[in-house]
Amino acid sequence: MKRVLTIVLIAFIFTGCKQASNEKEELKAVTLDKAKISSVSEKEDKIADTNASSSSSQQIISDTSKKLIKTGDISFETNNLYGTRKKIITSLRNLEGYVSEENETNDSYRRGLTLKLRVPSKNFDLLLDSVSGNAAKIDSKNVRVSDVTSQFIDIKTSLANQQLLEKRYQELLKRSDKMSDVLQIENKLTEIRTSIDSTQGTLNYLSRQVAYSTLEVNFYSEQTPQYSGTTIGDRLSASLKGGWELMQNLFFGIINIWPLVILAMVIYVIVKKWRAKRKLRVVQQ
């Protein structure tokens, strides 16, 4: 009986060791499978990111057209100030432009207008020729061209890279289970989004500067100063006018204080009667 129990116990121990060994092998196999899957997934992600970066870079590099910012200014004399303004505005509208700023100056010798015009870059030269045609005498004319092609490409490349980085963090956010990881990723996404908005704003401003050119137009017309009037006749006329105005002011001033005038007259009458009575008493004595 003891021998049978010993054999059964040995059999149980052998079976348990074998199961434990099988479980270890299965666990090792599962771990290896997970590692392989993770490795494959990482490789796929790297390949996808590389392809995305490559396609994005190719898309940016393909846009290598010149990015030019044109600005100019012109100053001239005209015989008809407001007539010239009307012609400039009409020509500007025909060229799909608009007035962004307008100022007017006026003194004894000259009246002038300053217009800041914005027009599509393709129509800049046409606008400048049209404006110049209204001048009786051109004082100055300047045109400046800035090439911002490299700056434009750099900003677009930076924006594309930031957007790719944002996508990667969004994918990480989907896979994260821990709250601490989620919070860190969301903070990073906020920083990236702020940077993207700033870069996009810079790109939009640069694009508007490239798309629309600026022309500042300063034009004026001479005017004869009014005669100051310093002859004897002018001075006599001014004196008579001033005297008449003084009399009017005195008259209306007296009317304004009529209660005081009446009071003074009453006091004068009373004092005069009192003095007369006193003089009469002295004579009687």
**What is the mean pLDDT of the segment spanning 116-129?**
95
pLDDT for residue 104? 93
CA proximity to 216, closest of 139, 142, 121:
142
Which pLDDT value is given to residue 62?
A: 53
Measured between alpha carbons, how far is 41 from 36 in angstroms, rounded to an integer?
8
In this prediction, residues 21-30 reach a mean pLDDT of 44
Mean pLDDT of 189-206: 93
Other residues' Cβ atoms within 10 Å of the Cβ of residue 248: 10
- State the DSSP code for 79: S
Dmax (CA) for the chain in angstroms is 182
pLDDT of residue 108: 75
- Asked if residue 42 lies in contact with residue 107, where contact means CB atoms within 8 angstroms, the answer is no
Q: Is the pLDDT of residue 40 over 80?
A: no
Q: Give the pLDDT mean for 136-148.
A: 94
**pTM of the full predicted structure?**
0.54
- Select the highest-mean-pLDDT range: 12-26, 128-142, 175-189, 252-266: 128-142
pLDDT band at 26 (very low <50, low <70, confident <90, very high): very low
For 100-112, letters b (16+ CB in 10 Å) and e give eeeeeeeeeeeeb
Residue with tokens 């100019």: 72
Mean pLDDT of 256-276: 80
Helices assigned H by DSSP within the chain: 2-62, 81-94, 124-132, 149-175, 179-211, 232-256, 258-284
* Per-residue pLDDT at 285: 64
Mean pLDDT of 3-11: 48
What does R_g of the chain's alpha carbons equal in angstroms? 48
Q: According to the per-residue pLDDT averaged within each range, which of 43-47, 59-63, 76-80, 224-228 is highest?
A: 76-80
